Amino acid sequence: MTEKEPAAEKKAAEDRPDPANPNDDQKAKAEERAEKAKYVFKITPANPRNAFDFEDVADK
């Protein structure tokens, strides 16, 4: 491992958002997302089926 890698990791960890302690920039982004989401009206079944579910099922 080089010296550079731990430093890069540290920087990435600092940049990673912490939902418990957001910084101002993160707060602004979250607010922007919330505003945008307010009038998105979408309901989807969270029961994803993949194509395999149709395949040769009757055969088994």
Partner 1 sequence: MKVALVFPPQGHFTQPYLSLPSLAAYLRTNGVEQVEQIDANIEAYDYFLTEARMNLALGRIDAGGGVAGLDGAGGLGFTQMERYQLLTEIDLAGSEVAARVEEAKEVLRTPELFYDHERYLWAGRTVERALRILSAEYWPTRLTAHNFVMRKRIESSAEIVAATADERENPYVEYFREFTLPRLRALDPDLVGISITFGAQAIPALTLARQIREWKPDCHITVGGGLLAYVGQKLSRRPETWELIDSMVMLEGERPLLEICRAVDEGRGVAGIGNVIHRCATGEVVEEPEAQPLNIQELPTPDFDGLPLEKYLSPELVLPLACTRGCYWGKCVFCTLHTVIGPGYRGRGIDQTVEDLAKLSEKYGTKHFYLAIEDLPPNMARALPRKIIEAGLDIDWWCDARLEHDVFDEQVCEDLAASGCRRIAFGYESSSQRVLDKMCKGIDPQASLELMQRVHDAGISITLYVMIGFPTETLEEARETLATVLRQRDIVQEVSARVFYLDESSEVYKRRSEFDIAEVFPDPTADLQVYYDFRANSGMSRREARDLYLEFTRALQSHFPVFQNTNMLYHELKSHYFLYLNHFGSWGALLENVLVGEADPSGRPLRAAHTLERELRFDRAVVDERLTSLDSETLRPRYQSDLIEDTDRERLDAELEPLAPFPSHLVYDVRSGELHCLSPGARDLLERCSGGRSPEEVAAYVPSEQRAAALECIAELMRTGLARPARNPQRTTKIEEVLS
CB of 3 or CB of 50, closer to partner 1: 50
Residue placing its CB nearer to partner 1 in the complex, 1 or 39 = 39
- Work out whether 3 is an interface residue with partner 1 (CB under 8 A): no
Binding mask 4-43 for partner 1 (x = CB under 8 A): -----------xxxxx----------x--xx--xxxxxxx
22 phi-psi bin (left φ>0, alpha ψ -120 to 50, beta other): beta
Cβ contact 30:22 at 8 Å: yes
User: Tokens in use for 29?
Assistant: 């982004």
